[in-house]
Amino acid sequence: MEKRIAVLPGDGIGREIMPQAVRVLEAIGQKCGHRFHFTYGQVGGEAIDATGFPLPAETLELAKSSDAVLLGAVGGPKWEGLEYARRPERALLGLREQLGLFANLRPAKMYSALIGSSSLKPEVVDGIDLLVVRELTGGIYFGKPKGIEQTATGHRGFNTEVYTTEEIRRIAEVAFQAARKRRGLVHSIDKANVLESSELWRREVIKVHQNFPDVELRHMYVDNCAMQLVRYPKQFDVMVTTNLFGDILSDEAAMLTGSIGMLPSASVGASVGMFEPIHGSAPDIAGKNLANPIGTIASAAMMLSYSFALTKEAEMIESAIQMTLAQEYRTQDIQSPGSTLVGTVEMGDHILKQLGI
């Protein structure tokens, strides 16, 4: 197989973690007979410094003409004073919008070697393996009207939660398809007891479910879900929800498993998917070889599986990560008593070694 991958390292630790993911992909390609062509582009703060824009036209063109995009992280204190439309983080919104990425997939999996890193009891978190499917381009973040307006006594701020049949149906399909490849259970999370948009959400999800009789569908209110995630997270397989609820629940799910540096994500929709770790550019540790590259390496594995249907290769990377952790190699964010502290590059070395390269 031959694929073109747009590599956008971005800012801060993005520049350190990305080379480790690229090494792993190169190694897997060599081992399994695939050719991955990597083309680098500028995004976020570094792109602002070079061109004045967080998402230069050249980078967008590169992303659109590639088979998949692998992104590090963007942002940092240097660009915090800029007006909102010029901030590094705008590049992410631009890429999502331009690539038609309406579904954000965030797996949260407990690596058995890291059970001690969770803030919850081992018996609660052992065996967690769930996937949050978040709608990414609709809902209250984009709904109109929105704004802040003057009133007789002060101001009034408002946003609008809007979902259409089409938006709900396509995200529900992504969730049911994902569940088919997993344990066959979807929880649809809404607030249908209060919100009309949620009432429609539930109605449409039920309709889409008719095409997936092999998958079980359960409904849960978002407030109960927030509670169930810390009470008994193992009850979940795939969770599908709106942009706002998904934003909150996916962070909650992430923290069940320990470090933010471990977790990957995928944004899919049209033809080109984008894959990135869930963390930011971590300016506090950037440039020190301290960052955990596992979230980015696991994002590369998701890219193989979701964009290229290379499931076996993705599993090889997953198990190399698992074995490296089982051998007690740890970056500082997941360090525990008795483990061997390693840096970003050394963590990459150990994962490559487990791949037999």
Active site residues: 141, 191, 223, 247, 251
Residue 167 or 333: which CB sits closer to ligand NAD? Answer: 333
**Is 355 one of the binding residues for ligand NAD (CB under 6 A)?**
no
The CA angle 160-177-1, to the nearest 5 degrees, is 115
- Total residues interacting with ligand NAD, rule: CB under 6 A: 21
The separation between CA 316 and the C-alpha centre of its own chain, rounded to angstroms, equals: 20
Q: Check binding of 74 to ligand NAD (CB under 6 A).
A: yes
> Of 87 and 191, which CB lies nearer to ligand NAD in the complex structure?
87
For ligand NAD, the closer of residues 9 and 138 by Cβ is: 9
Q: Binding residue for ligand NAD (CB under 6 A) from 6, 55, 73, 317?
A: 73
Cβ at position 146, least distance to ligand NAD in Å: 21
Euclidean distance between CA atoms 340 and 317, whole angstroms: 21
295 binds ligand NAD (CB under 6 A): yes
Instruction: Determine, following the binding rule CB under 6 A, whether residue 246 of this chain makes contact with ligand NAD.
Output: no
Q: What residues are paired with 109 via a beta bridge?
A: 129
Q: Which is nearer to ligand NAD, 161 or 333 (CB)?
A: 333
Q: Which amino acid is at 52?
A: G
Q: Does 54 engage in binding with ligand NAD (CB under 6 A)?
A: no
User: CA angle, 108 as apex, 180 and 134 as ends, to 5°?
Assistant: 65
Task: Please report how close the Cβ of residue 338 comes to ligand NAD at its closest, in angstroms.
Answer: 20
- Answer yes or no whether residue 75 interacts with ligand NAD by CB under 6 A: yes
Single residue of 226, 260, 326, 357 touching ligand NAD by CB under 6 A: 260
* Beta-ladder partners of 330: 341
Only segment of 72-80, 111-119, 163-171, 317-325 that touches ligand NAD (CB under 6 A): 72-80
Distance, in Å, from the CA atom of 336 to the CA atom of 268, rounded to the nearest integer, reads 35
Q: Please give the Cα distance from 79 to 81 (Å, whole number).
A: 6
- Of 192, 217, 211, 194, nearest to 202 (Cα)? 192
Rg (CA), the chain: 20
Q: Does 333 bind ligand NAD (CB under 6 A)?
A: yes
Stretch that binds ligand NAD, among 34-42, 67-75, 179-187, 220-228 (CB under 6 A): 67-75
Rounded Cα–Cα distance for residues 146 and 170 (Å)? 25
**Cα angle value 172/177/183 (rounded, 5°):** 110
Decide if residue 63 touches ligand NAD (CB under 6 A): no
Contacts of 211 (CB under 8 A, 6+ apart): 173, 176
Give dist(CA 264, CA 292) in Å, integer. Answer: 12
Question: Is residue 285 within the footprint of ligand NAD (CB under 6 A)?
Answer: yes
- For ligand NAD, which residue of 9, 29, 56, 76 counts as binding (CB under 6 A)? 76
Q: How far is CA 35 from CA 14, 71, 91, 341, in A?
A: 24, 19, 28, 33
Question: Does residue 261 bind ligand NAD (CB under 6 A)?
Answer: yes
In the complex, the residues that contact ligand NAD under the rule CB under 6 A are 13, 73-76, 89, 92, 260-261, 276, 279-285, 291-292, 295, 333
